[in-house]
Chain A
Amino acid sequence: MAVTVSARAVVRPRRLDRSRSAGLLLVFPSLLYLTIFVFIPVIKAFATSFTVRDRDDAGNYTYRVGLENYGQLVTSDTLRANIVFTVFIAVTSVAVVFVIAYVIALALRFGRGSSARFLGRIYIVPLFIPSVIASYAMITFLANHGFVDGLLQAIGLPDGVFPKIVFDWKGIVITQVWLSLPFMTVLLSSVLLEISDSLVESARDVGASSWQIFRHIVLPLSAPGALIGITFMFLGVIGGFTVPYLLGPNAPQMLGVSMVYYMTNYFEPFLASTQAVAIFLLSLVAAIYYVRQQFKREIR
């Protein structure tokens, strides 16, 4: 006699199996909010990206529907450079933060000395500093003829050798790292908490070195959770404005900055919307991955 067991029946006690309408009711307010303040503007942005504006010699405008804006994303040197630059910055920032945050998280999880406790206190500080302030602080800190340059020159570095960090991609990356460190560290720490001490101890008992434990136990077990943190941070950096505006080069620009310039200075709202959609699509890839990871863990 074949017995089919439905996974749902096993997991859910019946008394909590409420009607679907209750669930919908509870979700409704936030859904309403998001519809008015997010989804409708997003849809509008999508629609505007398909509006193509032509201009004649006398400066008169005519409008039509078309794909040329998207074509420009590919053909315009400036826009292409901006897209590449945006992805480059996002990937680099996330990679750097990941490495540093992982070290801190490992120290917090497995470390026992005063250094570990000290790390535990300071890594959280950037979370409490608004990004505008952090950007400004980084400018005074890392500019040419800024603090670090001054320090290095005081001990012998010749003038003009200090690399261009502010108003350069390096400035954006460093500031993003500074700002994102707390979030990533917090996330990675909580991920590492899942790895039980007994697992690590038994590995030690069979003679594994710390590196082996890291490489073969800690890293693989933390991967799913870590990847989620990475995608979340990636989303944040890709569409950012404040940090790239204050610290980035005049060209190329990250898409968030470029979008604003097109909108307000060049009076090209349609190209601006197109760039917004481009950022959205780039983020969507990451977002979908994030959600799928979440659901995978749920089924488990």
Chain B
Amino acid sequence: MATVAEPLPVSPRRRKARAEAMTVGNLVLAHVWVGIAAFAVACILGVWQMWARSPLEAPANTAANYFRSVTLHGVSMAFVLTTFFIMGFGYFTSEAALRRPLPGLRFAWAAFWMGLIGVLMAALSVISGNASVLYTFYPPMTATVWFYIGLVLVVVGSWIWCLIMIVAMRQWKAANPGQPVPLAMFATVANAIMWLWTTAGVAIELLFQVIPAALGLNGMVDVGLSRTLFSWTLHAIVYFWLFPSYIAFYTMFPRAAGGRLYSDTMGRLAFILFLLYSLPVGLHHLFMDPEHSNGFKFIQMFLTALVSVPTLLTIFTITASAEVAGRMRGGTGTFGWIRALPWDRPMVLATGLAFVMLFFGGGGGLINMSYGMNAMVHNTSWVTAHFHLIFGGTVVIMYFAIAYAMWPRLTGRAYPSLKPLRTQLWLWFAGMMIMTLPWHYTGLQGQWRRVAAFDYSNPMIAAWGPWVIVSLLGGIMLAVSALMFVYNLAMLHRRGASAANSGPFHFAIAVHPPERIPASLNGFGLWNILVAVLMLVAYGYPIAQFFIDPPPQAVVHRLS
């Protein structure tokens, strides 16, 4: 695995062993395990944070510990779990869907180690108390520079992944001229391209504003500009996390359900729409900010409404695919096909539960994006509830299902029983609902976000107490479910190799598999141009205004 440097001559046998260890399978396992390790730690921290905010006495409850914990929770969930899982799943998809060796395997391992070093740098910065700035940074506060450099290494590693995905698709197209790229890979590359666009905002913020400030090279920072650059990243990053779930809906669920994908074309269209409309919408995170005019807030609100379109299309196509499967399995009548679905399979169960959480989380999201109405919920627990339902719920439950689907192929073992998997998924779903529904309520009552402790002697705050305790119970269920997930995967991994599942992985096929499709649905050239135009319209002036008429800057506040 030592790809970065090979200082000593290595015996041929060890070299052979190393080459064998460098398989794509191990690459995927390494990525997913790093993601899961961060996830498990973050779940435990999350429970403690809810305990600290509740009327119950929590151990080690100081503000310093709380914000350290929140930062680690956010960074682990938002940057580590997601990035490593998505990279691992992308490598898996590339090999399984294209049936070709992965290009640049050594670069992929180099990116993995670079990302892992970055994660450790960032984690140590946070644990040592020198980076309690949460995962959204908040300049003019700055953490130790090692925190930012660590995160930059993770992002640069993910850029290498993006290039490998793009090259893999190119090579396949060159070898299969005129053939439609398999949908799973098409979607993975859509995500890779979107991620390159997405990270541009935060990369500029870090390289030109935050890191120089953390190094002491500049004492002032334009906060409006930094918030705007971060908003560029802040919404599309959510769709980066979401993509694997939608890839599973379209290319794994229909097969697991025993049927076929209703429409391959609609899948391509949905992924293209995500690429287009995830990016020029970030200003909706700044609705309550003074520095942008209502005109540009309105434009981006309008574009945000359009990003609901691919989700609504997906709900129809996947429900239709489920109906196809249900009827193929003998289900009849208007709703009889629902009962005929194989709910005992983790992928089918997870998709069903993900849709329920998407209903609540998406509905809350529509309220968040509603322009002036955002004032009702901005920076309250309502928002925390919304993104835990969408990300922690819909997205993460599909990560579980994807990992469960990949594991037998990667480890060469079959599950002795699917029951522990189903129990884990149900527990996650129940925990997420019990945790987030009270948060919605207290959010509407005005419970604000990001505080270490509430003063429950205040009668108004005291009324929230019971709801906070209910949500804590949901959180405990989530942590138990997270540990069960780790256990389920570790048990299968530990049992050692067996040849039971060494066949190739199959993605779902469509009712009418595409034979020839227009170039626009088989590549991203046109769509990249459209993204550029939309970004220019949405972000051109909102960024330019900081240079046309520079606002007063804020004094940098170094935390370390």
Verify that A and B bind, or say they do not: no
Residue ranges of B at the interface with A (Cβ–Cβ < 8 Å):
none
Residue ranges of A at the interface with B (Cβ–Cβ < 8 Å):
none
